[in-house]
Amino acid sequence: MLDQAQAQSIFNRIRKFSSGGELEVIFSSVDHALTRFANNTIHQNVAELNEVASVRVALDGKTARATSNRFDDESLKRAVQAAESMARVQEPDPDRLPMAPAQMASRNGAPSRWSDETAAITPPDRADVVGKIVATAKKNRLVTAGIYSSSSSAEVVVNSNGLAAYHRQTAAEVSITMLADDSSGWQKANAPEAASFDPVALAEIAAQKARDSHSPRELAPGKYTVILEPAAVLDLVGFMFWDFGGQAILDQRSFLNNRIGTKLFGENISIVDDVYHPLQSNAPFDGEGVRRQRASLVEKGVIKNLVYARSTAEKMRKSEYAGKVGSITETGHGFPLPNEIGEAPVNVVFLTPGNEQRVEQMIAGTERGILITRLWYIREVDPYEKILTGMTRDGTFLVENGKVSGGIRNFRFNQSLIEMLSSVEAMSSAVRASGEESFDMVVPAMKVRDFNFTEVTRF
């Protein structure tokens, strides 16, 4: 795997092929392996080591990027020439800034996201874990499917202004579905350290959900109190964070246009973007190598701040929105240039108000409601009101008189995120959660009133 010294050496070689102007290279090195299982047996084991140099040049107010996954001189030279050729045929960008200076690079202080034990996981190690998951399925007379993966990665950003930023991390992930004749259960976890979660315990939970939701009853559509487990919360709220970037406001494609500084959610909703949180992952710098800053996005329901790439912050200061969008500063949230998106928070953390409840307590305090394990096939219906549609899946239960009384048929929902986050009655402690529709976040389970279900599915 590429280290910082190797990346710097390759960058020095690349500079020799440049015809002038500024130069930036993003190095990515990923060693990823995955074991896939279905019908209670392993059916695939794959592994890939991929190393890429993504070369950006800046000439006369123009910029372009080309990549190579070969590091011999001829391949690197072709990448530089391709980037320069593309840059020369573009129109100058009056908003383009010089590449980031060295002092904007990441400083020490981010928690380590590297685990030697996770990096050393082998195919037999993964097979052993899958064997235990399958044993859990067979013990419960169920069929299981899913994946167990492990990876190690490194990311380096180097530019001709002397900036150099380096990050490495490991990751392990397990996703487990347990299937019965007319019901199913699911669990998923992802973390830099494989030891931080127990795949067998997750398999037991998924199996119990499949058992307990058998012979599902059909409930009429309507508005219900719901208890959303963290994965369900994550896959819903993930649809709004692309709107927290400054460029989204400038493009007038954000649901926060004309709403920054207003109380949009309930008093109990506070959200930050914090790459330094102990349950988070990712590099402590953005696509230009600029160090990430902790950003307060929502405070007690009030939309407080956006995140910015360098160029977006500069444009925002000169725009009609200056003075209406809170603090404007380079927060280190930009994506690699050139891009049309700008930036977004990618290390989201929900701050709970201190009166947390476990899911079991939420259930005990609910006279009639619905417990939701996860959601899927979520799509946006109304971008400004943030109305989403989707379906429940893999463990949907009726709660009556403070107890789970059995499984129910899955629902389709149409729900405004604004209304949902204004109707949260209780939250658990925030945990690192994984889903299928959004990136990992630190979120709580939530008890929400008047969640809108529009129809019953056929399964």
pLDDT of residue 227: 98
User: In this predicted model, what pLDDT tens digit does every residue of 87-105 receive, in sequence order?
Assistant: 999 999 998 999 999 999 9
Question: How confident is the model over 319-324, as a mean pLDDT?
Answer: 95
Contact predicate 286/342, CB 8 Å: no
What is the DSSP secondary structure assignment for residue 255, as one 8-state letter? T
User: In this predicted model, what pLDDT tens digit does every residue of 157-177 receive, in sequence order?
Assistant: 999 999 999 999 999 999 999
User: In this predicted model, what pLDDT tens digit does every residue of 262-295 receive, in sequence order?
Assistant: 999 999 999 999 999 999 999 999 999 999 999 9
Contact predicate 250/306, CB 8 Å: no
User: In this predicted model, what pLDDT tens digit does every residue of 365-418 receive, in sequence order?
Assistant: 999 999 999 999 999 999 999 999 999 999 999 999 999 999 999 999 999 999
User: In this predicted model, what pLDDT tens digit does every residue of 209-266 receive, in sequence order?
Assistant: 999 999 999 999 999 999 999 999 999 999 999 999 999 999 999 999 999 999 999 9
Of the candidates 289, 55, 52, 54, the residue with the CA atom closest to the CA atom of residue 165: 289
Cβ of 396: how many Cβ atoms within 10 Å?
A: 27
4-205, superfamily in CATH? PmbA/TldD superfamily (3.30.2290.10)
Cα 427 to Cα 238: distance, rounded to the nearest angstrom? 17
Of the candidates 275, 286, 294, the residue with the CA atom closest to the CA atom of residue 336: 286
Question: How confident is the model over 342-349, as a mean pLDDT?
Answer: 97
For the chain, give the mean pLDDT.
96
User: In this predicted model, what pLDDT tens digit does every residue of 17-48 receive, in sequence order?
Assistant: 999 899 999 999 999 999 999 999 999 999 99
pLDDT of residue 154: 97
Q: What phi and psi values does residue 359 have, to the nearest 5 degrees?
A: -55, -40
Contact predicate 68/78, CB 8 Å: yes
Cα 445 to Cα 229: distance, rounded to the nearest angstrom? 5
Is residue 311 scored above 80 in pLDDT? yes
pLDDT of residue 432: 97
Of the candidates 147, 153, 154, 195, the residue with the CA atom closest to the CA atom of residue 173: 147
Q: In what order do the strands lie in the sheet with 302-303?
A: 302-303, 295-299, 270-273, 348-351, 441-443, 431-433
**Domain definitions of the chain by residue range:** 4-205, 216-459
pLDDT of residue 457: 87
Element (H, E) at 235: helix 230-237
First-residue to last-residue Cα distance in the chain: 46
- The model's confidence at residue 1, banded by pLDDT at 50, 70 and 90, is confident
pLDDT of residue 108: 64
Contact predicate 454/413, CB 8 Å: yes
* pTM of the model as a whole: 0.96
According to DSSP, the residues that pair with 52 across neighbouring strands are 28
